[in-house]
Amino acid sequence: MWKDSLVIPDRDFRFPSACGIAGIMSKNGRLMNGSVIVESITSMMERGNGLGSGYAGYGIYPDFEDHYAFHVLYDDKLSKKETEDFIKERFDITYDEPMPTRKVRSIKEVHVIWRYFLRPKITEAIEKMGMDLDEERDSIVETVMHINSKIKGAFVVSSGKNMGIFKGVGFPDEMAEYYRMDEYEGYIWIAHNRFPTNSVGWWGGAHPFGILDWSVVHNGEISSYGANRRYLESFGYKCTLSTDTEVIVYLFDLFVRKRKHDIYTTSKILAAPLWTEIEIMPDEEKDFYTKVRMVYGGALLNGPFAIIVAKENMMMGLNDRIKLRPLVCAEKNDLLFIASEESAIRKVCPDPDRIWAPRAGEPVVGYLKSGERYGEVEKASGIQDRSG
């Protein structure tokens, strides 16, 4: 294993299909110990080079399930004080503490990591005036954008309810030990093992990326990052974490939460077919994709990618439109598994009921069997997949 050798040979070897992603969801909402996703992602250790890894878990904060959980990286005490002064203007802080961690000799702690459980002050006014709670969520996004772009040395990496993102520079087993993942239980877990190619390896740039309840892990490169970033900036999002994957999580928030598109329409916007494919489609389908490409051109994700996207009631896997990165899915009873490799699934589920590779650009979605959030009612129960 590379990490046991004296030299990590990332200068001498390039793996264009590298980075490992994994996700596990219980559609019945059964809690699973974090050690399960750790076992899955660490079976693909060779897909990373130690410059980043991380986890996102849902259902992990039952004692504060109605609070927004902010995980914040600080460079110094000054950035922490400035951030907390700003937070106190907008939120009531119910509880805060240093992130519980273990000492891991190979992990260089370059940030102070703090977590806060917050209640927005705007919530009471919204409830009294009968306003849409989306106003509250907009205020969370604005808060995260302000801290990340305006306060030097402070970075909000997690801002959802009853979920959290844990990430940094290191191999996935090291990050799991550092963040004590075996002490958490959740009904959705996603994980990443990073092999950065076009961006730096630093704590804020590791995966998953998140905003509100959304989280994303990604294998590949977003060559349309510049166009996507400019598109998002026109709607108030700011990309500050120096990694192309950041645009993906904001695009899902924009189209699903704010524009009220469903997951499948959003997937068709982000991974729309090539013009050569559209030209030979039946008229109705051709008309739909022509409009998608013309209206949402700035949101199209170009380049190779395989992603896992999660929010509080859903987990989805999606490939780019010509499938330049591997992605495998499986089912077992109420569980949905998504990973870069079949071996990562069989490591934790040796005998799945069904296993398959989705087609290019076709989402595979698992829904929690209850719940309504973001004004979006997911009527489907279980897994929907249109991969054929």
pLDDT digits (tens, 9 = 90+) for 278-302: 999 999 999 999 999 999 999 999 9
- Distance of alpha carbon 172 from alpha carbon 49, whole angstroms: 10
Q: What element of type H or E holds 40?
A: helix 35-42
* pLDDT at position 189 over 60: yes
Reported as a single tens digit per residue, the pLDDT across 195-230 is 877 777 899 999 999 999 999 999 999 999 999 999
CA 376 to chain centre: 19
**What's the chain's average pLDDT?**
90
* pLDDT at position 113 over 80: yes
The pLDDT score that the predictor gives to residue 182 is 97
What is the pairing mode between strands 364-367 and 382-385? antiparallel
Q: Give yes or no for a contact between 365 and 263, defined as CB atoms under 8 angstroms apart.
A: yes
Residues 6+ apart with CB under 8 A from 372: 378
DSSP string covering 263-326: HHHHHHHHTPPPHHHHTTS-HHHHHHHHHHHHHSGGG---S-EEEEEEETTEEEEEE-TT--S-
- Distance of alpha carbon 155 from alpha carbon 72, whole angstroms: 6
Residue 17's pLDDT band, with cuts at 50, 70 and 90, is low
In CATH terms, 23-322+361-385 corresponds, of 3.60.20.10, 3.30.420.40, 3.30.70.20, 3.30.1180.20, to 3.60.20.10
Nearest residue to 70 via CA among 48, 49, 50, 92: 92
Residue 19 known to be catalytic: yes
Alpha-helix runs per DSSP H in 64-199: 77-90, 122-129, 134-150, 172-179
Pairs from 333-337 (Cβ < 8 Å, separation ≥ 24)? 334/26, 334/27, 334/28, 334/30, 334/382, 335/24, 335/25, 335/26, 335/27, 336/23, 336/24, 336/25, 336/27, 336/364, 336/366, 336/383, 337/22, 337/23, 337/24, 337/40
Q: Give yes or no for a contact between 65 and 161, defined as CB atoms under 8 angstroms apart.
A: yes
- Distance of alpha carbon 118 from alpha carbon 135, whole angstroms: 16
